Amino acid sequence: MWWVAAAAAAQGQLHLPPGFTANVYFRSGPAGSLRRPTSLAFDGAGGLYVGELGGRILLLSDDDADGEADRLIEFASGLGSSTGIALHDGALYASSRGSVVRLRDRDGDGRADERQVIISGLPTGRHQNNGIAFGPDGLLYHCIGSRSDGSEARLEVLPLEASIVRATPHGEELEVFASGLRNCYDLAFHPVSGELYATDNGRDVPDSGVPEELNLIVAEGDYGWPDCWGNGGGSTCSGTLPPIATLQAHSSADGLAFSSGTQFPAAYRTNLFVALFGANSGDPTIGKRVVRIRLPEAGEEAQVADFALGFENPLDLAFGPDGSLYVADYGAETIYRISFVGGGEEGLPPSLAPSLRLRAGAPTYRRGDTLALELEAENASAASALDPYVAIILPGGQFVTLPAPFAFSRLGEVRRYEAALPTSSPEVIVRFSASATLEAGEYRLVAVLARRGADPVKSENQLSVEQTSFTLLP
Ligand SMILES: [Ca+2]
Ligand SMILES: [Ca+2]
Ligand SMILES: [Ca+2]
Ligand SMILES: [Ca+2]
């Protein structure tokens, strides 16, 4: 698949699922310059704050609402290597190497005029303090990277190192919330459940097989670094928590954001989007993309799928008030805006299109038996908008629709379906007002997943068609 990405990159275009489009929201031009963007945060008025590695914070706005920023204000400068920003209670919080700075714009001119270091003395070394997020509890959560890789001559691990810390919005009561994260770049709270998710990057050693991780963060959780990684890799894994998804080794899993708004198709709601920066080896097949993660439901595994390819080095992302996804490409020094313009379910990449699995309960039946089927809707998170239909295909192409189609109520649901086979003919109702006799013989059984209210017979309404067969004995 990477040749698609390479071709797209050569044209300066992103490769997206059908129904999506991307435009350049901002890059250096007459309005000002953008250099090595690291982090994004929207304010309530649609202004986009952008942190730069060089220590500036920019405020971009799209005053004529055409999807491209036309105004740049330098909100702040002089921070040291900023890799995380967040807005809370009218203030902008920014990471600066070893500290957290709180900035306010008191006079509303778009430039910070009040500045306070609220946390300082954080450990730095190979990595530093990165992403910032505020929880439903109003407290500040902050990623602190490790000072070493974990594979080199071991440094003493300092108390706040390789952790997620928590503090009040004033920087007081600083404490370790979770530990064992080698280099957490970003973190985000689930908009509904309030659960905290964070990325973590495995060690840099080539061919070590150490994956990048998405972790569900719980209080006092230990996520394994330096000895344990992935799902039980390394050593000393006892008592540590595995990731809920592993991501491509050395791809550098960085910014993450939950989808918000209603612009993206229903199947994308409350999915996590993660920017994979790319390998520091320069291998073009690693990372350089945004992936979409569907969080696991009970007993399932998280599903990871490519969403957007063709970046240089995507680093952070955020959903805007317009429901578009904004991606800061550190390498291309560009902020992209990705929007959904297609209709219905067209935006679903093939791997995530709704599908139906059909299993016949038995290979043979006699008249009067109960035909048992199992149907499973996959990837159909818009399940409430979909109806399954089951039909028996007769010789000559007529078909019998089995009665009482039911709706799926959630993703991955398995529904058993039972229908009494007619004891005599011609008792069954056939579509198009025909009637038919079920002679002994082999029948095809077809299940169709269609949009609610749409005619399932029309191919344009069929999102998934599955077949199996059974034999009706004399
Ligand atoms: Ca504009
Ligand atoms: Ca000001
Ligand atoms: Ca881990
Ligand atoms: Ca972020």
Please state whether beta strands 175-179 and 163-167 pair in parallel, antiparallel, or not at all (unpaired): antiparallel
**Nearest ligand to the C-alpha of residue 256?**
4
Q: Give φ, ψ of 355 to 5 degrees.
A: -145, 165
- pTM, rounded to two decimals: 0.73
Distance, in Å, from the CA atom of 405 to the CA atom of 361, rounded to the nearest integer, reads 17
- Give me the pLDDT at residue 462, please: 64
What is the whole-number distance in angstroms between the Cα of residue 302 and the centre of ligand 3? 16
Secondary structure class of 132 (helix, strand, coil)? strand
How many angstroms does the Cα of residue 349 sit away from the middle of ligand 4?
A: 25
Q: CB of 311 within 8 A of CB of 290?
A: yes
Q: What is the DSSP string of 216-258?
A: EE-TT-B--TTTEETTTEES--TT----SEEE-TTS-EEEEEE
For the chain, the structural domain boundaries read: 2-351, 354-472
Would you state the pLDDT for residue 259? 94
Instruction: Quick: pLDDT tens for 164-184.
Output: 999 999 999 999 999 999 999
Cα(165) to centroid of ligand 2, in Å? Answer: 30
Give residue 65 CA to ligand 1 midpoint distance, Å. 5
| CATH class held by domain 354-472 | mainly beta
Q: Is the pLDDT of residue 417 over 60?
A: no
pLDDT reading at 1 higher than 60: no
3-state secondary structure (DSSP) of residue 7: helix
Q: Which ligand is nearest to the CA of 112?
A: 2
pLDDT tens digits, residue range 380-407?
A: 444 445 566 666 666 555 566 664 444 4
User: Are 184 and 200 in contact, with CB atoms under 8 Å apart?
Assistant: yes
Q: Distance (Å, rounded) from C-alpha 77 to C-alpha 100? A: 14
The b/e string for 9-29 (b: 16+ C-beta within 10 A; e otherwise) is: beeeebbbbebbebebbbbee
DSSP 72-102: EEEEE---SS---EEEETTEEEEEETTEEEE
Where does the pLDDT of residue 346 fall: very low under 50, low under 70, confident under 90, or very high at 90 and above? very low
Q: Are both 2-351 and 354-472 of the same fold?
A: no
Calculate how far, in angstroms, residue 261's C-alpha sits from the geometric centre of ligand 1.
21
Four-residue CA torsion sign, 157, 158, 161, 163? positive
Burial class (CB in 10 A: 0-12, 13-18, 19+), 430: middle
For the chain, what is the mean pLDDT? 82
Rounded distance between C-alpha atoms, residue 411 and residue 391, angstroms: 23
Q: Which amino acid is at 4?
A: V
Higher pLDDT, 206 or 447: 206
What is the token pair recorded at 76?
Answer: 């702040």
- What pLDDT is recorded for position 149? 84
Q: Which of the two residues, 93 and 456, has the higher pLDDT score?
A: 93
Q: What is the DSSP letter of 385?
A: G
CA angle 451, 457, 459 (to 5 degrees): 75
Q: How far away, in angstroms, is 291 Cα from ligand 4 center?
A: 15
Ligand nearest to C-alpha 69: 1
pLDDT at position 233 is 93
Rg of the chain, C-alpha, whole Å: 27
pLDDT at 392: 66
| 290 has a pLDDT exceeding 50 | yes
pLDDT at residue 458 greater than cutoff 70: no
For residue 50, the CA-to-ligand 2 centroid distance in Å is 17
- Please give the pLDDT value at position 152: 66
**Which is nearest to 20 in space by CA: 249, 223, 263, 186?**
263
Give CATH for domain 2-351: 2.120.10.30
The whole-number pLDDT of residue 348 equals 45
69-92 pLDDT, tens digit per residue, is 999 999 999 999 999 999 999 999
Residue-level pLDDT at 13: 76
Report residues near ion ligand 2: CB below 5 Å.
Answer: 105, 107, 109, 111, 113
Looking at the CA of 68, which ligand is closest?
1
Is the pLDDT at 12 greater than 90, yes or no? no
